[in-house]
Structure 1
Amino acid sequence: MRRLLAGIATVALFGSLTACGGGDDAGSDGPITLRMTTWSANEAHVKLFDSIAAEYKTTHPDVTVKFDALPFENYTTTVTTQIAGGNAPDIAWILEGSAPDFVASGALAPLDDSIENAADLVPAATALWKSDGKLMAYPFSTSPFGVFVNTDMVKTLPAQWTWENAIAAASAAAKKTGKQGLVVRDFDYKDWTNLTSVFRGWGAEAWSADGKTCGFDQKPMVDAMTFLHKAIFTDKALPAPGVSADFFAGESAMTIAQISRASLLKEDGFGWTLVPLPAGPAGDYSVIGQGGLGVLKKGKNASAAAEFVKFFTNEANSAKLAQFFPPPRKSQLNAETLAKANPLLKPDQLQDVVIDGIADGVVKPSHTGSAEINQAVRAALDPLWKPDADVPAVLSGVCTAITPLLAK
């Protein structure tokens, strides 16, 4: 059913949108309510978004902005289904995996005239969000992954911060405390794209740069997944399938997450630190997750939405958003600026994980037809999450499943 819905939504939106008219509020009178879909219901995030919307309303009294938080797992499918059903949001938070579909579809209104000081944007941060040189969505969150460590459970980090040593430390902490070791947040044996934060350490890629050739059956991926399988089922360093653990509730020794999650830490909680991803056999690396802000042409209030995006992304609000969402602005990507917005994080942590990570990182996998591809990968990977799995055979099966999809 999930695949069917994803397919229907994708076909309905990306197959027919360019022939459809969009919303036009240019001649509307009276109050306007803008709806912006997000995937985060985090209290701190919502509070910040609401404060920006409230400030906007002081100069635009007829405009009310409502943030519609949708479940992360089915976020993109829900948004595309809404659009196909004639209930398009005015503004959507777009995940990097579905960026190629949205950007190429004609679903979004160009934002070049709706971004303050666009010359300040880092080219590498905007590359995924452009079509024919036009900026189709603003990457307001360009956030590398790091490792949060519970220093009450892991007293001393290994001198050599490698995947081998990190897994050994996680395994030892789990065995000693009876809690979990390392959690790849939001993976939960469902969203395989979050494993990019692990397998990139082996130089593995889900598919080639041109998106046409599957990489799951190649040696780097086989080696990475073999390591991960052993870490789960032999070393007991990661929660087994069906086991949940929340680092921020003190239930695991480490978690891979972005700095936006720091808001979940409590002042009276445990000791913690934030470090970069461990080095893998391919050396040091960084993986970036992005969120783009797009104005939907089919929304009821497209021009008013573009005006709010201009305000939401201006330099002042970009600095506020930097508390959770590292900005794409060159002028703000420095430890001093980010430290002002992130009092919980030390300048050296921000430098090592965020600033250096953006400079050297690779964005999580993205491809046209991402909903169908992601579901196919997830289904084909299911046999891997068993103690006696044949790792090379399973990964070969992933390529069998997705190669026809990559060619579309």
Structure 2
Amino acid sequence: MKRLTHLLAAATLLASAGLAGAADVNLRMTIWSANKSHLDLFNAIAADFEKTHPGVGVTFDSLAFDSYTTTLTTQIAGGNAPDLAWIFETSAPDFVASGALAPLTETLKAAPGYDLDDVNPATLELWSTGGEIYAYPFSTSPFGVFVNNDLIKAAGKPTPAELIAEGKWTWDSAVDLAAAVAANGKAGLIVRDFDYKLWDNLATIWNGWGAAPWSADGRTCTMADQPMADAMAFIHDAIFEKKAMPAPGVSADFFAGDAAMTITQISRASLLPKENPFDWDLVPLPAGPAGKYAVIGQAGIGVFASSKNAALAAEFLAFMTNPDNAAKLAAYFPPPRKSQLTTDILAKANPLLTAEQIDTVVIDGIATGKVKPGHTGLAEIHQAVRAGLDAAWVPDADVPATLAAICRRIEPLLAR
């Protein structure tokens, strides 16, 4: 498999950057959401941009979440790169280092009323190099736990809110109530989008053990270290012994009322049922052996240097993320703007969430959370880990041996 970095670097040679001279221009932006509420918002922002840019259109191309980066890089390698794209935080090192993205700092600073200084510098770290911004982190969103209180009460268990009030919201108690709901005929806990493929989403659990897949400098595999071994053993036990998490090949949809809990971000609140709703809650991740913690997912928007309309695309990006539109996007995607990370502002943008949910899950999560793990050449590393973990997803797995084998496999990749 070719490394993502090589694909992106090669793609920059396919076309020259700059604003096309044609009167009618269509900007295409790839995204990984097909949610109607999200698309309605994006299209409304695009329509406002089009009003002041006659002859310009903006379309949003929804790609499947689980194959998003692969599809995007295939488009790039084939000379069909979009003008703009959402980018996963895990892929940020490749996209930023490759030269595939156009620089944005000058455009953002020049945009009327943009106030780039209002953007928290820490949120820009993944998306910048050499003092230049190459993508804008429009969403800095902590993971939380959506809860179906009806299913939990029917299983005779205290709700997470009750456990939090008693200081007992831990991974042990979370798995205990998830197992009770599963024994009652529904699914227990779902790590949304994991599905035994997107293994890095398990960071929402293993960070509670202080675990990480590799060292801070990215050079050394730590999958076999004790914190990760303990965390993965806990996950394996929750799946195969306690039946608290759906086993491989078993699917359940929390938002259809089929599970007690799901770990995901607030953007998924739009999936909560409007008809026949259940009693739901949103709470922080449970505490682990390493204590309380938070995990953040980031999404950036970048402009491809190979776009024939790169200057115009950067102008649209600046418009889409200006203070007014950032406030609108905050309904689903917590903004990186310091002035907008207040309970009052986020509550107005997220009427489904209570002030307490916003304060404890979103604001506190952004303040204390760690971003999901990323690495240059992640596509190849990700595939190697995913394939290696197949041996862990069976009832009698030797989890420590599986993790040691993964480290032997990915050490050469990390060292590149």
Distance (whole Å) between structure 2 residues aligned to residue 22 and residue 404 of structure 1: 35
Secondary structure, counterpart of 2:65 in structure 1: coil
Secondary structure, counterpart of 2:66 in structure 1: coil
What is the root-mean-square deviation of aligned Cα atoms in Å? 1.2
Mapping of residues 181-200 of structure 1, within 5 Å: 181-200=188-207
Distance (whole Å) between structure 1 residues aligned to residue 307 and residue 3 of structure 2: 20
Give CA deviations for 1:116-143 in whole Å, capped at 9, x if unaligned.
2110111221111111111110000100
Distance (whole Å) between structure 1 residues aligned to residue 408 and residue 3 of structure 2: 23
> Is 1:53–2:50 an aligned residue pair?
no
Distance (whole Å) between structure 2 residues aligned to residue 291 and residue 107 of structure 1: 17
Partner of 2:394: 386
**Matched-pair contact (CA < 8 Å) for 2:392–2:398:** yes
Aligned pair partner of 1:294 in 293, 302, 305: 302
Partner of 1:228: 235
Aligned pair partner of 2:210 in 193, 203, 214: 203
CA drift of 1:215 comes to: 1.1
Distance (whole Å) between structure 2 residues aligned to residue 86 and residue 8 of structure 1: 17
**Matched-pair contact (CA < 8 Å) for 2:13–2:306:** no
Partner of 2:314: 306
Partner of 2:141: 143
**Matched-pair contact (CA < 8 Å) for 1:9–1:84:** no
Aligned pair partner of 2:116 in 115, 118, 122: 118
Partner of 1:76: 69
1:259 partner letter: I
Mapping of residues 2-401 of structure 1, within 5 Å: 4=1, 7=2, 10-14=5-9, 16-17=10-11, 21-26=15-20, 28-115=21-108, 116-155=114-153, 156-157=158-159, 158=163, 159=166, 160-176=168-184, 178-268=185-275, 269-401=277-409
Distance (whole Å) between structure 1 residues aligned to residue 136 and residue 265 of structure 2: 19
Distance (whole Å) between structure 1 residues aligned to residue 152 and residue 121 of structure 2: 38
Q: What percent identity do the matched residue pairs reach? A: 61
Give CA deviations for 1:23-48 in whole Å, capped at 9, x if unaligned.
3225x031100000001111111111
Distance (whole Å) between structure 1 residues aligned to residue 374 and residue 12 of structure 2: 22
Secondary structure, counterpart of 2:376 in structure 1: coil
**Matched-pair contact (CA < 8 Å) for 2:149–2:279:** yes
Give CA deviations for 1:85-116 in whole Å, capped at 9, x if unaligned.
11110001000111000001111111112332
**Matched-pair contact (CA < 8 Å) for 1:109–1:294:** yes
Distance (whole Å) between structure 2 residues aligned to residue 380 and residue 8 of structure 1: 19
**Matched-pair contact (CA < 8 Å) for 2:8–2:95:** no
Paired positions, count: 400
**Matched-pair contact (CA < 8 Å) for 1:17–1:105:** no
Secondary structure, counterpart of 2:152 in structure 1: coil
**Matched-pair contact (CA < 8 Å) for 2:3–2:379:** no
**Matched-pair contact (CA < 8 Å) for 1:9–1:81:** no
Secondary structure, counterpart of 2:29 in structure 1: strand
Partner of 2:111: none
For structure 1, the 5+ residue unaligned runs are none
**Matched-pair contact (CA < 8 Å) for 1:17–1:106:** no
1:260 partner letter: S
Distance (whole Å) between structure 1 residues aligned to residue 380 and residue 137 of structure 2: 24
For structure 2, the 5+ residue unaligned runs are 109-113
Distance (whole Å) between structure 1 residues aligned to residue 48 and residue 337 of structure 2: 22
Distance (whole Å) between structure 2 residues aligned to residue 246 and residue 136 of structure 1: 36
Secondary structure, counterpart of 1:73 in structure 2: helix
CA drift of 1:174 comes to: 1.4
Distance (whole Å) between structure 2 residues aligned to residue 245 and residue 135 of structure 1: 40
- TM-score (ref. length: structure 2): 0.94
Secondary structure, counterpart of 1:343 in structure 2: coil
2:390 partner letter: D
Distance (whole Å) between structure 2 residues aligned to residue 101 and residue 9 of structure 1: 7
